[in-house]
């Protein structure tokens, strides 16, 4: 399914998870091989291209935008382009150490809301419910770019259907619409 077909799928999504195929600048090592580069695994897009690929979003919705550590600012650009207002930044602390000079073992999720907060809460249980147990999560690491199942379980607890996993790498199941080149 291409982007035009996604726009005409018949849904206005109340929840959108997006792990955009960012094009970060990577260090050239080992005879011009770009080590750890997403470009080695899948096609990437510029920030402007990602901003222009706004999914069909309901008037009230939740956005979860995955961001790379060196460019969290790109996530804010996408949220704004898609009509959202940033709420909080979550941190995924991966087990073990990463690669590179700083051994980065974190990723970030920019959580945002589209539309009014009234009638559009995160989670349920009234005004004083605690939606999460903090903003830093220690979830297991999987294969390249695979996001933790516990993340999706948390989103399902906090945010309504219909749900879109944009730039998905696997189909999530019956409560999700999955779209991406690798599906």
CA separation for the pair 47, 63 (Å, rounded): 17
For position 126, what pLDDT does the model report? 53
The structure's pTM equals 0.87
Torsional class of 26: left (φ above 0), alpha (ψ -120 to 50), beta (otherwise)? beta
3 state SS of 40: helix
Task: Summarize pLDDT for 29-70 with one digit per residue, the tens.
Answer: 545 555 555 555 557 789 999 999 999 999 999 999 999 888
Which H helix or E strand runs over 150?
helix 149-158
Residue 31 to residue 136: CA distance in whole angstroms: 37
Residue-level pLDDT at 123: 81
Both tokens of 85, joined, read 């207002």
Q: Both tokens of residue 122?
A: 């995160």
Which domains occur in the chain, in start order? 3-179 (3.40.50.150)
């Amino acid at each position: 399914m291409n982007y035009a077909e996604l726009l005409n799928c018949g849904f206005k999504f109340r929840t959108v998870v997006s792990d955009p195929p960012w094009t970060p600048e990577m260090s050239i090592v080992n005879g011009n091989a770009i080590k750890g580069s997403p470009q080695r695994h899948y096609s990437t897009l510029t920030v402007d291209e990602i901003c222009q690929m706004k999914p069909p979003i309901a008037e009230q919705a939740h956005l979860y935008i995955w961001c790379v550590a060196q460019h969290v600012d790109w996530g804010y650009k996408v949220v704004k382009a898609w009509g959202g207002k940033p709420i909080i930044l979550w941190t995924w602390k991966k087990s073990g150490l990463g690669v590179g000079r700083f051994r980065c073992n974190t990723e970030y999720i920019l959580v945002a809301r589209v539309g009014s907060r009234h009638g559009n809460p995160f989670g349920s249980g009234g005004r004083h419910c605690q939606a999460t147990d903090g903003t830093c999560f220690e979830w297991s690491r999987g294969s390249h770019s695979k996001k933790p199942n516990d993340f999706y379980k948390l989103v399902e607890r906090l945010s309504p259907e219909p749900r879109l996993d944009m730039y998905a790498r696997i189909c999530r199941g019956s409560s999700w619409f999955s779209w991406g080149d690798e599906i």
